[in-house]
Structure 1
Amino acid sequence: MGAHGAYWVAVGIGAVLTVLACVVARRSSARVALVISRCLAVVLAATAVAFYLGPVVDGTFTVRNSLPLQLCDVAAIIVVVTCWFPRWRLGFELTYFWGLAGTLQGVVTPDLGASFPHLEFFVFVVAHIGIVMAALYLAIGMRAAPRRFAPLWVFGITVGLAAVDAVADWKLGANYMYLAHIPPSASLLSVLGPWPVYIASAAGVAVVLFAVLDAPFWLRRRIAGSGRNSSRVTVAAGAIASPGVMASLEAAASSDVTGTPGVTAFPDVAARPPGRTASPEDAPPRRPTPAGSDR
C-alpha cells in the first residue's frame, strides 16, 4: 500500500472514531464526555511533542521549515488546551473555525512530507485528523456553540497570525501559511490565482466558510430568540386579558422577592387599596416599649 492509500485508510478510521466519540458523549454523562475530550488532548499533545522534537532529534530542524507557525501548528496547541478545558469559549471557537475551514482542507488535500510508515507520516495524520475530530467532537458531542460574533474575531486572529507569518517569511525566506508561494501538492490555493492574488482569494474563501460554519448556530440563536419573544408576548397578552392571571403574576413576583407568595417587600404598599395614597394610619403599629427601656 502506498503513502496515499495508507493515508486514506487512516482518514476513514478517524471518521469512524469521530462518530463513535460523538455518539458516546451525547448518550453518556458529562464526566464521560470530559474523559473522552481529555484523552483526545493527551493524544494531540503527544503528537505535537513528537512533531516539534522530531526534527531536533534527527538533525533536520531549520527555522525555515520547523517553527510552529503554520495555522495547523497553532491550531494544534489551541486544540490541546481546549480539549483539556472545554469551557474555554475562545479556544472552542478557534478550534471549530480553524479546524473545519482550514485543517479539514489540509486533510482533503494533504501535503505529505513522508511516506508510510515513517514517524512524520503518523504525526501528520494524527495531528490533522485529530484537530478536525476535536472540532466536531466539541460541537456535536459536547454541544459547544460559538458566540454571536465569533466568526469576526476568529477571522481577525487569523489575519494577525498571517501578519506574523508574513514577517517570518520575509526575514527567514520561509513559506509559513503558504504566504510566499503555493504548496507543491494540489490544494485549494492552486485554483485561487497567482501570488499574491491567491492570498486575498483565500481570505474571501475563509469569510464564506466561517459564515457557512456559523449558520447552524445563527439559525438556532434566531429560533431561540423568537421563542423567547413569543413567550413574553403571550404572557403579557394573557395578563392584560385576564385579571386572575395578572393577580397570579403579581403573587409570583412578590414570592420572588420575599420567598412567601403574596407577600411583597413593601407591606404598606401591598395593603393599600388601589387609588389611595399613603397616610399616617397606613404605618405599621409600633411595638410597646418594654418597661425600663430608654426608648
Structure 2
Amino acid sequence: MDRFVPYGPSHWVLMVLIVVGAVVLVVLGRRNRDPRTEVVFTRTFAVVVVAFNVAMLVYRFLPAHWNIGESLPLQLCDLAWIVGAVALWTHRPLAHALLYYWGLTLTPQAMITPALDAPDFPSPDFIEFWGQHLLVIWAAAYLTWGVGLRPNWRGYWFAAAVTVGWVAAMLVFNSWAGTNYGFVSRKPNNPSLLDVMGGWPWYLVVGLVLGLVAWALLTWPWTRTSRGAVRA
C-alpha cells in the first residue's frame, strides 16, 4: 500500500471534503428550526463522533498497535472530539467554546500540515487521523453557523486556561514518559508553522501569543452586538 503523501491526491480530496461537509451541515442546521428534530440530529451526530473515535481508540490499544507515544488519547485532537461530542449533546457554551477555538484553528492546522506517517487510504491509521479531524471541524461549523451557538469572552478565557493547562500537563507527562504529545517537547518532523516560531521553548510562547490573538479576532465579531450563546 502506498504511503500517505501531503498534498497528494487523497489529501486534496479530503481538504475538499472538509469544506463540502461543513457547508452541507451548516445548511441543514439553518433550515432545521424544529427543536425536536434538531435535538435528534445533534445527538445522533454526537453518537457518531463517540462511536467512531472509541472504535479507533480500541484499535490503538490492541497489542499489535500499542505505542505509548501515540496510542494514549492525550493529543489535543483527542480532547477536541470528546469536547465536540459533549457540545453536540448538551449545547453548553463552554463546551462549544473549546470546540470553536480548537476545531477552527488548531485542527485545520493539523490538516494543512498533517503529521501522518502511515499508509494511504484505506489504512486504519489514515481513516483515524482524517476521520477524527473531519468530525471535529464539522461539529464546530455545524454548531456555530448551523445551530447558532456563539463564543463570548468568558469562553475565550476558559479555552485559553484549559489549553495552557493541557500544555503544562503534556510537558510533565512527556518528560516522564519520553513522549512528545502535542509536540510541546519538540517540533514534529514534518514541516509545520512551528518551524517559523523559533526553537524550544520559544515556539510554545510564540504559538500561545499568536493563538490568543487569533482567538480574540475570532471572538470579537460575535460580541459586538450580543453576549453569550444565542440562536442565529
How far does residue 130 in structure 1 lie from its aligned partner after superposition? 1.0
Task: Select the residue among 60, 64, 68 that pairs with 1:63.
Answer: 68
Alignment partner, residue 203 of structure 2: 198
Secondary structure of 1:113's counterpart equals coil
Q: Deviations over 1:105-124 (max 9, x none)?
A: 11221112322210111111
Residue pair 2:18, 2:137 contacting (<8 A) in 1 also: no
Kindly provide the CA deviation profile for residues 49-89 of structure 1, in whole angstroms up to 9, marking residues without a partner as x.
13211122252212222111111111111111211222x11
Distance 2:198 2:52 in 1: 34
Which of residues 101, 125, 137 is equivalent to 1:97? 101
> In structure 2, how many angstroms separate the alpha carbons of the residues matched to 1:17 and 1:153?
28
After TM superposition, list the pairs within 5 Å mapping 1:14-25 onto structure 2.
14-25=18-29
By how many angstroms is 1:134 displaced?
0.8
Residue aligned with 1:111, SS? coil
Find the residue that maps to 1:194 and give its secondary structure: coil
- Is 1:48 aligned with 2:46? no
Tell me what 2:162 maps to. Answer: 157
Provide structure 1 residue ranges, at least 5 long, that are not aligned to the other structure.
Answer: 223-295
Pick aligned residue for 1:116 from 121, 128, 136: 121
- 1:169 Cα offset (Å): 0.5
What does residue range 1-295 of structure 1 map to in structure 2 within 5 Å?
Answer: 3=4, 4-28=8-32, 29-57=34-62, 59-86=64-91, 88-114=92-118, 115-221=120-226
Which shows bigger deviation, 106-115 or 32-41? 32-41
- Percent identity between the two aligned chains: 33
Q: Distance in 1 between matches of 2:191 and 2:172?
A: 25
Structure 2 unaligned residues grouped into runs of 5+: 228-232
Tell me, yes or no, if the aligned pair for 2:152 and 2:219 is still in contact at 8 Å: no
Q: One-letter code of the match for 2:95?
A: G
Q: Bigger relative contact order, structure 1 or 2, given CA contacts below 8 A and separation 6+?
A: 2
User: Is the contact between residue 25 and residue 138 of structure 2 (CA under 8 Å) also seen in structure 1?
Assistant: no
Maintained 8 Å contact 1:82/1:91: yes
Report the CA distance between 1:163 and its aligned residue: 0.9
Task: Output one character per residue of 1:212-259: Cα deviation in whole Å (capped at 9) or x when no partner.
Answer: 11022122328xxxxxxxxxxxxxxxxxxxxxxxxxxxxxxxxxxxxx
Q: Which amino acid aligns with 1:134?
A: A
Contact map agreement 1:155 1:207 (CA 8 A) in 2: yes
| Greater mean deviation of Cα atoms: 135-144 or 64-73 | 64-73
- CA separation in 2, counterparts of 1:123 and 1:34? 27
Q: Is the 8 A contact 2:152 2:223 kept in 1?
A: no
Secondary structure of 2:225's partner? helix
1-structure distance, mates of 2:48, 2:3:
25
Higher Cα Rg: structure 1 or 2?
1
Distance 1:76 1:58 in 2: 24
Residue 2 of structure 1 and its aligned partner are, at CA, apart by 7.0
SS of structure 2 residue aligned to 1:221: coil
CA-based RMSD of the aligned residues comes to: 1.8
Q: Distance in 1 between matches of 2:147 and 2:16?
A: 22
Q: CA deviation at 1:35?
A: 3.0
Structure 1 counterpart of 2:143, one-letter code: L
TM-score by length of 1: 0.70
CA distance in structure 2 between the partners assigned to 1:124 and 1:31 by the alignment: 32
Q: Distance in 1 between matches of 2:117 and 2:42?
A: 28
Aligned pair count reads: 221
Equivalent residue of 2:226, what SS?
helix
Over residues 161-198 of structure 1, what are the superposed CA-to-partner deviations in whole Å (9 max), with x where a residue is unaligned? Answer: 11111110000011011011111111111211111111
